[in-house]
Amino acid sequence: MIYLDHNATTPIDERVLETMLPFLQVFYGNPSSLYRHGRLVRSAIDSAREQVAALVGVQPTQVIFTSGGTEANNLALTAIKWGSSLAISAVEHPSISEPAENWAKLGCDVKLIGVDHNGLVTQDAITDTIRHGPTLVSIMLANNETGVIQDVASFTQQLRAKGIVVLTDAVQAVGKIPVNYNHLGVNMMTLSSHKIYGPKGCGALIFDKATHIKPLLWGGGQEQGYRAGTENAPAIIGFGKAAELAALELAQRAERLLKLRKFLEDRLMAIPGITIFAKDTERLPNTVQFGIEGMDGEMLLMKLDQKGIAVSSGSACASGGGKPSPVLAAMGVSSGLAKSAIRISLGKGNTETEIIEFTDLLQTLVIPG
């Protein structure tokens, strides 16, 4: 298989798996148990917390482990006060936009922050948002479909000056570009392990103590009382190792991926009728989303799948729904072109040979005969 869908999920890094195995096989103690067998697991979780904290430049106490990016985003949104208002960018992941829709049904005023044709939040939209004065604003750092990177630091400065709480979903950004919580100036940031070669079912909310979040799960008081439930120790420990490796290898991974992405884009542009979305905008080094007028993205995905090539026809969560991507719609892409969208997200294991094989096949599928 040629796997070109790393924004959906990444294969687990061998070194991460090795770190996790003893905590599945030997050290199975409950980290809350006071005897040695439990204390040992607690200590490994503490190290993982330090590793994740170091990746984004925060104190370990600012990290709350969750079951993934989705839970971290839902937990962050509990900072909204009852009856107050919320503003989210028009290109957020469903783990932000769906709870926001639910908040709207419960009577919360929810506004969308518009983006331009490149998927970038505009200064006008921020000025407008500030005028409405929401309690909380959510702007993702990098988009899962287009890879477009937002200028979160500059928006945060303006929003926080007005006392607005800022959340950024950094699930796709972290491990691909440098991400520093303090540099971005946000109140909250969310991460996911399985996007950085860690195990699935683990993520984190990074927060400051001045931001009043409320637990989604109540129970034994784990994670400083913000996320009860016996910790998923092997996954947390794997996430920690993945975070350590991401920090160590970030520059080298990003440089290699960017080269490979440019190689892919040159070959894509040689195929007639292809539009690369947000082509000249700052994007993640691994992500390219394109459309081909007149084609059906999901049909194309199936044909590529038959040849052993895994790509996405939009965000993984939305695929299969048959609806054009809300992200592309927000960018003003016509529904015909949006329905033809294919997302390629490269990973550290991909090679030029794979790109050649993929683009050669794509060419035959786009121009039959």
Ligand X SMILES: Cc1ncc(COP(=O)(O)O)c(C=O)c1O
Tell me the C-alpha distance between 266 and 107, whole Å.
49
Q: Is 152 in the site for ligand X (CB under 6 A)?
A: no
Could you tell me the smallest distance in angstroms from the CB atom of residue 61 to ligand X? 22
- The window from 100-108, 164-172, 249-257, 337-345 that contacts ligand X (CB under 6 A) reads 164-172
Q: Quote the tokens at residue 355.
A: 């790109």
Closer to ligand X at the Cβ: 234 or 295?
Answer: 234
Provide, rounded to whole angstroms, the least separation between the CB of residue 183 and ligand X: 19
In the bound state with ligand X, the residue whose beta carbon lies nearer, of 76 and 268, is: 76
Residue 260, SS3?
Answer: helix
Cα–Cα distance for residue pair 17/327, rounded to 1 Å: 34
Residue 275 phi, psi dihedral angles, 5° rounding = -115, 120
Complex with ligand X: residue 92 or 267, whichever CB lies closer = 92
185, burial (CB in 10 Å: exposed 0-12, middle 13-18, buried 19+): middle
Whether 299 and 319 have beta carbons less than 8 Å apart is answered as no
Binding mask 187-226 for ligand X (x = CB under 6 A): -----x-x--------x-----------------------
Q: Which residue is nearest to ligand X (CB)?
A: 69
- Closest CB 91 distance from ligand X, rounded Å: 10
Angle 335-299-201 (CA atoms, 0-180°, nearest 5)? 90
Nearer to ligand X, 206 or 292 (CB): 206
By CB under 6 A, is residue 171 in contact with ligand X? yes
Q: Which stretch binds ligand X (CB under 6 A): 118-126, 167-175, 238-246, 254-262?
A: 167-175
Distance CA 240, CA 28 (A): 17
Could you tell me how many helices (H) and strands (E) the chain has, helices first?
12, 12
| Under rule CB under 6 A, residue 169 binds ligand X | yes
Closer by beta carbon to ligand X, 88 or else 295: 88
Cβ contacts of 43 within 8 Å, gap of 6 or more: none
- The distance in angstroms from the start CA to the end CA of the chain is 24
* Interhelix angle 152-161/123-132, nearest 10 degrees: 20
Q: Which range of residues in 35-43, 64-72, 214-222, 294-302 is near ligand X by CB under 6 A?
A: 64-72
Decide: 96 and 138 in contact? Cβ < 8 Å: yes
What tokens appear for 258 in the block?
Answer: 């960017």
Closest CB to ligand X among residues 277, 295: 277
- List binders of ligand X among 313-342 (CB under 6 A): 316
Q: Does 74 bind ligand X (CB under 6 A)?
A: no
- The minimum distance between CB 88 and ligand X, in angstroms, equals 12
List the catalytic residue out of 316, 317, 329, 365. Answer: 317
317 is catalytic: yes
CB 224 within 8 A of CB 24: no
The footprint of ligand X on residues 92-121 (CB under 6 A) is 93, 95
The residues that are catalytic are 317
Q: Which residues bind ligand X (CB under 6 A)?
A: 68-70, 73, 93, 95, 140, 144, 169, 171-172, 192, 194, 203, 316
